[in-house]
C-alpha cells in the first residue's frame, strides 16, 4: 500500500546551522507514528516544515499522492494536515465551542453579507456547525464546558480542545507536538486512550513528537529518532528502543 | 421545530440596542418638553458621530486586535466624497432623503476603498509600527484634501492641486472643493433621528459580524495568529475585511458630519490625529472589545466638557480626573473584583437564595 505521507531528503538551514538534514519518513494510512529525539534535535522544525511554517531548502513532501512542498500553511491545512502546538495555542478569549467552530471554518461556508444580514443560509450553516462542533466536543468530554472561555479550562482539557480543533478541519493526518507535556501520569494515560480513540474512530493517521517514553512505547507502532537534525534510526518501536545507538544518544545507558 | 434558545450573546445585543432606542425616546421627549438647551441640541448629532466612530474603531482595536490611529482620516474621506456628491446633486435630486441615502452609500464605499488600499500594505505590520503608519496615513489624507481643488462647469468637472484659478472654469462654473477652504453650502440633511438610525445600523453590522463565521475568524486571528493559520483561516483576507468595514463605518460618521455643517474644512481639529486619539480614548475607556462600553464612553466624554462649562477654569481639570477614574474603574484588578461582587446579577441571585 502506498504511504499517506511521504517525505524525502528534507533539509533546512538557518544561517550556518543545518537544523534538519536529509530527513525522510513514510507513514501509512491509519498508523500511529512517533518522532523522538533529544532537545534541539529538530523535531518541531520538522513539524514546521511539514505544515509550511518554514519552506524547506531541499526535499519533497507528498501527501496522499499530491506534492505539497512549499505550499502556504493554510493551503497545507486544506490539503489535509492539521497540528497542535508544543505550547498550547488556543483562541483564549473565544468559547470552547467557538474554538472548534473556528476549526470548521472552511467546511461550513457562508459569505460575510449572509452573516451580517442573517440570511437563511447563516442559520442553516450555524446550526450545522453547532451540531458538528458539539459532536466533537462530546468525543473529548468537553461538551459540558462548551460555553466556557478556552482560557478558563484546566490544562489537560486545553490539550484536548486543541486536538478537537485540529480534527474539526477534517485532516488526513494529525500532527501532535508533545501532547503529554506538563501532564501528570494519570492524565498521560487518559491522553493515550484519547489518541488511540481518535485513531480508531476518526480513521486518523497520527504523527506525534513526545518525550514521555511510556506514552511512546505504549501507543506508537513505528518510530523515527532524530539527533542533531539527522535521522539516527527508524523502524518498529520495539526494535528502535532497544537499539544501542538510541540508548546512548537519548535514553542514557 | 426546534425551540429557539436565547443565548447570552443575543440578550447582550438586545440590551445594547435597547439602551440606544431608550436614550433616543428620552431625548425626544425632553426636546418636546423644552428641557434641553439649544446648545445641547446642537450637540446631539456630533454625539451620534462620536458613537459611530467609537464603535467602528472598536472593530479594529478590540475585535481585530490591531492599533489604528488613522481613523479620523477615513472619516475625512467619507465626509468629503459625500459632501462633494451632495453639492453636485443638490439641484438634480431635490428629494433630500434619497440624496442623503446616496451620499451615505458613496461616502462609506469610498472610505472602505481607501481603507482597503491602505490596509493592504499596512496590515503586514504589527503593534506600534502599525499605529505609527496609520497615524501617518491619517495625516496624509487630511493634507491631500487640503490642497484639492475641484470645480464644475458646463463642460464637466475640473481638477487641480495648485489653486482654484488653475481650474480654468468657464463663467457658469462653480468651485466645489476649494482647497483649505473646503466645501461650503453642503445641504444640511443630518438630523438626530438619522444619527440614531445610523448608530443602530452600525451596531447591527458590527454585532452581527462579530457573531458570525467571519467574526469568529477575525477574533481567532486576534487571539493567536499562528494557530488561526494552522486551521486554514486566511489571515490577509480577514484582516482586510475587518479594517475595511471599520473604515466604511468611519465614513458613515463622516457623511453625518459633513451634512451637519454649512462649511466643511479639513483642519487638525476635526480630521487630525487629535480626533483619532480621542476616538481611541473612547474605545479604551469603554473597554477594548466591548461595544456597549464604547457607546457609553463616547456619550459621557462628549457631554462632560459641555456640562462642566459653568465651572470654566476647572473644566479640563475635572475632565482629566474623570478620564483617570474611568480608567481605574474599568481596568484596575481590585475594582474589577469589587464590581463583580456588587453586580446587579449577583445581587439578584443572592436575594433569590434568601427567599
Higher per-residue confidence, B106 vs B3: B106
Confidence of residue B355 (pLDDT cuts 50, 70, 90): very low
Residue B172: pLDDT over 80:
no
DSSP B120-177: HHHTTS-HHHHHHHHHHHHHHHHHHHHT-EEEEETTEEEEESS-SGGG---TT-EEEE
Q: Shortest CB distance from B223 goes to which of A92, A125, A127?
A: A92
Residue B49's pLDDT is 96
Mean pLDDT, rounded, of chain A: 92
In a mutational test of the B interface, the residue from A50, A72, A73 whose CB has the highest number of chain B CBs within 10 Å is A73
Chain B residues inside the 8 Å CB shell of A74: 229, 232-235
Q: Report the distance separating Cα B300 and Cα B307, nearest Å.
A: 10
Do the Cβ atoms of B216 and A108 come within 8 Å? Answer: no
State whether B230 and A126 contact (CB < 8 Å). Answer: no
Contact A115 B217 (CB under 8 A): no
Q: CA-CA distance, B141 to B310, in Å (whole number)?
A: 37
More confident residue, B247 or B40: B247
Grid look-up 503608519 returns B133
pLDDT at position B185 is 85
Write the DSSP string, A173-229: EEEEESTTTT--HHHHHHHHHHHHHHHHHTT-EEEEE---HHHHHHH-SEEEEEETT
Are B224 and A90 a contacting pair at CB < 8 A?
Answer: yes
pLDDT digits (tens, 9 = 90+) for A23-58: 999 999 999 999 998 888 899 999 999 999 999 999
pLDDT of residue A245: 85
Q: Is the pLDDT of residue A16 over 90?
A: no
* All residues at 6 or more sequence positions from B1 whose CB lies less than 8 Å from its CB, including other chains: none
pLDDT at A225 over 60: yes
Residue of A nearest to B205 (CA): A116
* Average pLDDT of span A187-211: 92
Measured CA to CA, the distance from residue A73 to residue B227 in angstroms comes to 10
Residue B207: is its pLDDT beyond 70?
yes
The pLDDT tens digits of the residues spanning A70-91 come to: 999 999 999 999 999 999 999 9
- Determine whether the interchain pair A110/B213 forms a contact, defined as Cβ–Cβ distance below 8 Å: yes
Q: Which of A189-198, A225-234, B176-185 has the lowest mean pLDDT?
A: B176-185
Q: What is the pLDDT of residue B2?
A: 42
Distance (Å, whole) CA A131 – CA B36 = 52
- Over 60: is that where the pLDDT of B4 sits? no
Q: What is the mean pLDDT of chain B?
A: 88
Give residue B153's pLDDT.
82
pLDDT classification of B7: cutoffs 50, 70, 90: confident
pLDDT category, B174, cuts 50, 70, 90? confident
Q: Which residue of B has its CA nearest to A166?
A: B231
| Residue A176 or B326, more confident | A176
Burial of A185 (0-12, 13-18, 19+ CB in 10 A): exposed
φ and ψ of B275, to 5 deg: -65, -45
At B348, the pLDDT band (50, 70, 90 cuts) reads low
Among A53, A73, A85, A116, the residue to mutate for chain B (most B Cβ within 10 A): A116
pLDDT above 50 (res B3): no
Per mean pLDDT, which range of A245-249, B48-52, B94-98, B336-340 is the poorest? B336-340
**Cβ contact, residue pair B227, A85, below 8 Å:** yes
Q: Which residues contact B175 (CB under 8 A, 6 or more apart)?
A: B149, B150, B151, B164, B167, B169
Chain A residue numbers with beta carbons less than 8 Å from the beta carbon of B289 are 93
**Total count of residues recorded for chain B:** 355
Count of helices and strands (H, E) across chain A:
10, 10
Average pLDDT over residues B266-282: 90
pLDDT digits (tens, 9 = 90+) for B185-198: 888 889 999 999 99
DSSP-derived letter for residue B59 is: I
Grid cell of A94 as nine digits:
473565544
Complex ipTM tops 0.95? no
d(CA A145, CA A122): 24
Nearest to B183 by CA among B75, B260, B265, B272: B265
Residues A115-142, mean pLDDT to the nearest whole number = 94
Nearest to A91 among B204, B212, B227 (CB): B227
Residue B344: its pLDDT value, please? 65
* CB-CB under 8 Å, B213 with A115: yes
Place of cell 473529548: A140
- Residues from chain B that touch A98, judged by Cβ atoms under 8 A, are 216, 219
Closest in A73, A93, A110 to B229, CB measured: A73
Q: Is B47 within 8 Å of B302 (Cβ atoms)? A: yes
How far does Cα A207 stand from its chain's mean position? 7
Are residues B231 and A102, on separate chains, in Cβ contact within 8 Å? Answer: yes
Q: What is the pLDDT of residue A253?
A: 55
CB contact A126 to B (< 8 Å): yes
pTM of the model: 0.90
Contact of A92 with chain B, judged by CB distance below 8 Å, is answered with yes
Q: Which residues of A touch B240 (CB under 8 A)?
A: none
Instruction: For residue A95, give the DSSP letter.
Output: B
Phi, psi of B343 (to 5 degrees): -70, 145
Task: Give how far B206 is from chain A: nearest CA, Å.
Answer: 8
Q: Which of B59, B228, B231 to mutate to test the interface with A (most CBs of A within 10 A)?
A: B231
- Say which residue, A81 or B329, is predicted with more confidence: A81
Residue of A nearest to B229 (CA): A74
Give the other-Cβ count within 10 Å of A72's Cβ: 15
User: What whole-number distance in Å separates Cα of residue B109 and Cα of residue B103?
Assistant: 10
Given CB atoms, is A91 within the 8 Å cutoff of chain B? Answer: yes
- Look at A13 and B308; give whichever has higher pLDDT: A13
Min distance B213 CA to chain A CA atoms (Å): 7
Q: pLDDT value at position A121? A: 95
- Kindly report the three-state secondary structure assignment for every residue of A215-250: HHHHHCCEEEEEECCEEEEEEEHHHHHCCHHHHHHH
Q: Which residues of B touch A164 (CB under 8 A)?
A: none
**CB atoms closer than 10 angstroms to residue A202:** 15
- In this predicted structure, what is the pLDDT of residue B345? 64
Mean pLDDT of B120-142: 93
Which DSSP letter does residue A14 get? E
B292 to A6, A101, A114, A226, B296: CA distances (angstroms): 52, 25, 24, 53, 6
Subunit contact A77:B230, Cβ cutoff 8 A: yes
Give A245 to chain B, closest Cα distance, Å.
35
Q: Is the pLDDT of residue B212 over 60?
A: yes
Q: What does B260-293 look like in DSSP terms, one character per residue?
A: T-SEE---HHHHSHHHHHHHHHHHHHH-TT-HHH
The mean pLDDT of B234-245, rounded to a whole number, is: 96
User: Distance (Å) from the C-alpha of residue A82 to the closest C-alpha of chain B?
Assistant: 7
A82: contact with B, CB 8 A cutoff: yes
Of the given ranges (A77-81, A174-178, B29-33, B169-173), which has the lowest mean pLDDT? Answer: B169-173
Q: Is A102's CB within 8 Å of B229's CB?
A: no
* List of chain A residues whose C-beta atoms are within 8 Å of the C-beta of residue B233: 74, 102, 105
Of A82, A93, A109, the CB nearest to B223: A93
Among A10, A24, A18, smallest CA distance to A235 is for: A24
CA pair distance B337, B97, nearest whole angstrom: 49
pLDDT band at B1; cut points 50, 70, 90: very low
Amino acid at each position: 500500500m502506498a504511504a499517506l505521507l511521504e517525505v524525502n531528503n528534507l533539509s533546512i538551514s538557518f544561517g550556518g546551522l543545518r537544523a534538519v538534514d536529509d530527513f525522510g519518513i513514510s507513514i501509512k494510512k491509519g498508523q500511529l507514528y512517533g518522532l523522538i529525539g533529544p532537545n534541539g534535535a529538530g523535531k518541531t522544525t520538522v513539524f514546521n516544515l511539514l505544515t509550511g511554517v518554514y519552506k524547506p531548502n531541499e526535499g519533497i513532501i507528498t501527501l496522499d499522492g499530491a506534492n505539497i512542498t512549499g505550499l502556504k500553511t493554510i493551503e497545507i491545512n486544506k490539503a489535509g494536515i492539521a497540528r497542535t502546538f508544543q505550547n498550547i495555542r488556543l483562541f483564549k478569549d473565544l468559547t470552547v465551542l467557538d474554538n472548534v467552530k473556528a476549526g470548521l471554518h472552511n467546511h461550513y461556508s457562508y459569505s460575510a453579507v449572509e452573516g451580517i444580514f442573517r440570511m437563511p443560509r447563516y442559520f442553516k450553516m450555524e446550526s450545522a456547525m453547532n451540531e458538528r462542533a458539539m459532536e466533537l466536543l462530546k468525543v473529548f468530554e468537553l461538551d459540558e464546558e462548551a460555553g466556557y472561555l478556552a482560557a478558563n479550562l484546566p490544562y489537560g482539557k486545553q490539550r484536548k480542545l486543541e486536538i478537537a480543533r485540529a480534527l474539526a478541519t477534517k485532516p488526513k493526518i494529525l500532527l501532535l507536538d508533545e501532547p503529554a507535556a506538563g501532564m501528570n501520569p494519570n492524565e498521560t494515560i487518559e491522553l493515550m486512550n484519547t489518541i488511540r480513540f481518535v485513531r480508531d474512530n476518526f480513521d486518523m493517521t497520527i504523527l506525534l513528537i513526545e518525550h514521555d517514553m511510556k506514552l511512546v512505547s505504549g501507543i506508537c507502532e513505528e518510530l523515527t529518532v532524530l539527533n542533531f537534525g539527522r535521522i539516527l534510526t527508524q523502524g518498529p518501536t520495539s526494535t528502535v528502543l532497544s537499539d544501542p545507538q538510541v540508548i546512548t544518544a537519548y535514553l542514557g545507558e | 421545530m426546534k425551540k429557539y434558545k436565547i443565548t447570552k450573546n443575543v440578550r447582550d445585543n438586545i440590551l445594547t440596542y435597547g439602551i440606544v432606542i431608550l436614550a433616543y425616546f428620552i431625548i425626544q421627549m425632553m426636546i418636546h418638553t423644552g428641557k434641553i438647551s439649544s446648545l445641547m441640541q446642537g450637540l446631539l448629532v456630533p454625539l451620534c458621530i462620536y458613537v459611530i466612530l467609537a464603535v467602528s474603531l472598536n472593530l479594529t482595536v478590540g475585535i481585530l486586535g490591531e492599533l489604528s490611529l488613522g481613523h479620523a482620516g477615513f472619516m475625512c474621506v467619507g465626509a468629503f466624497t459625500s459632501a462633494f456628491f451632495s453639492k453636485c446633486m443638490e439641484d438634480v435630486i431635490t428629494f433630500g432623503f434619497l440624496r442623503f441615502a446616496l451620499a451615505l452609500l458613496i461616502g462609506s464605499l469610498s472610505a472602505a476603498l481607501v481603507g482597503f488600499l491602505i490596509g493592504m500594505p499596512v496590515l503586514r505590520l504589527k503593534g506600534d509600527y502599525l499605529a505609527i503608519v496609520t497615524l501617518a496615513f491619517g495625516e496624509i489624507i487630511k493634507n491631500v484634501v487640503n490642497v484639492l481643488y475641484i470645480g464644475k462647469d458646463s463642460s464637466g468637472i475640473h481638477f487641480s492641486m495648485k489653486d482654484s484659478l488653475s481650474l480654468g472654469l468657464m463663467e457658469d462654473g462653480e468651485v466645489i472643493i476649494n482647497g483649505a477652504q473646503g466645501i461650503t453650502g453642503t445641504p444640511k440633511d443630518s438630523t438626530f433621528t438619522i444619527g440614531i438610525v445610523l448608530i443602530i445600523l452600525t451596531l447591527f453590522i458590527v454585532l452581527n459580524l462579530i457573531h458570525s463565521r467571519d467574526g469568529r475568524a477575525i477574533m481567532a486571528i486576534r487571539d493567536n495568529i499562528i494557530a488561526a493559520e494552522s486551521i486554514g483561516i486566511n489571515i490577509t483576507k480577514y484582516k482586510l475585511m475587518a479594517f475595511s468595514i471599520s473604515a466604511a463605518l468611519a465614513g458613515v460618521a463622516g457623511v453625518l458630519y459633513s451634512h451637519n455643517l454649512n462649511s466643511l474644512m479639513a483642519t487638525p481639529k476635526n480630521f487630525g490625529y487629535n480626533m483619532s486619539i480621542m476616538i481611541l480614548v473612547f474605545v479604551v475607556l469603554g473597554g477594548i472589545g466591548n461595544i456597549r462600553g464604547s457607546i457609553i464612553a463616547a456619550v459621557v466624554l462628549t457631554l462632560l466638557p459641555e456640562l462642566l462649562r459653568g465651572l470654566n477654569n476647572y473644566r479640563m481639570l475635572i475632565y482629566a480626573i474623570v478620564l483617570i477614574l474611568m480608567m481605574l474603574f474599568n481596568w484596575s484588578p481590585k475594582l474589577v473584583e469589587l464590581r463583580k461582587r456588587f453586580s446587579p446579577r449577583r445581587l439578584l441571585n443572592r436575594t433569590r437564595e434568601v427567599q
